[in-house]
Amino acid sequence: MSPMPGVPVIAIDGPSASGKGTVASRVAAELGFHLLDSGALYRLTAVAALRAGVGFDDENALAPVAAGLDVRFAGGETWLAGENVSEAMRSELASVGASKVAVHGAVRAALLERQRAFREAPGLVADGRDMGSVVFPDAALKVFLTASVDIRAERRYKQLIEKGLSANLESLSQDLRERDERDRSRAHAPLVQLPDAILLDTSSMSADAAVRFVLDAWAQRKSK
């Protein structure tokens, strides 16, 4: 894939478990756009690091792990070095690891061009923490999607329980608070609502309503 600067991008940023992945995938499907789940690349870096015995605080060793990811997305599944890691990359360990490896500038630099390569016609919906601020600063529409910590913890809890996994609501809430702090305070590409991004708080909003909000915002942006 080669990046195409003239192709429109809808950038959806926000904290963990805010619902941006669900909204982004459904908006992309509605518009017939490509989809970039940037968090998947960081989770895969965490999974690959664990398997290689590389610590999440070892920036020098993590950078080549990120740069050398042998990744393939196909049929709704994710393959790493020929192995289906769809479940492994969605584990809490991989999710927490993604937040930890993402604080390193060398890791972010290694994944930057790989993310930009997803920009192909007719358009791209990209979700993450720095889609609008760093990866696609010229995005045609920027949305900052968020929700309260309690609501996000409840959503994550339900997801894990539905998958038959054990979960503790209080622990999940604490993990999210710590992750939010890491994302906001990191030196490289911190999580921030940009002045030109539309704020969308989904605390009391259904996924359907959130998707419609973004689609309506896109329609209005196109009509200008």
Measured between alpha carbons, how far is 221 from 224 in angstroms, rounded to an integer?
6
For 178-220, how does the pLDDT look when each residue is reduced to its tens digit (9 = 90+)? 988 988 888 777 888 899 999 999 999 999 999 999 999 999 9
Q: Which helix (H) or strand (E) is 12 found in, with range?
A: strand 9-13
State the burial class of residue 216 (Cβ atoms within 10 Å of its Cβ: 0-12, 13-18, 19+): exposed
Residue 3 has pLDDT above 60, yes or no: no
Structure tokens at 5: 């600067």
Strand partners, 198: 143
pLDDT-based confidence at 2, cuts 50/70/90?
very low
Q: What is the pTM of this model?
A: 0.83
Q: How far apart are CA 88 and CA 107, in angstroms?
A: 20
Nearest-angstrom CA–CA distance, 170 and 193: 27
Mean pLDDT of the chain: 91
Classify residue 148 by burial, with Cβ atoms within 10 Å: 0-12, 13-18, 19+. Answer: middle
pLDDT of the residue at 1: 41
Q: Assign 142 to helix, strand or coil.
A: strand
CATH fold for the domain made of 9-223: Rossmann fold (3.40.50)
**Taking the domains of the chain in order of start, what are their residue ranges?**
9-223
Q: Closest Cα partner for 23 from 125, 119, 173, 142? A: 125
Give the pLDDT score at 60: 96
Distance between CA atoms of residues 29 and 24, nearest Å: 9
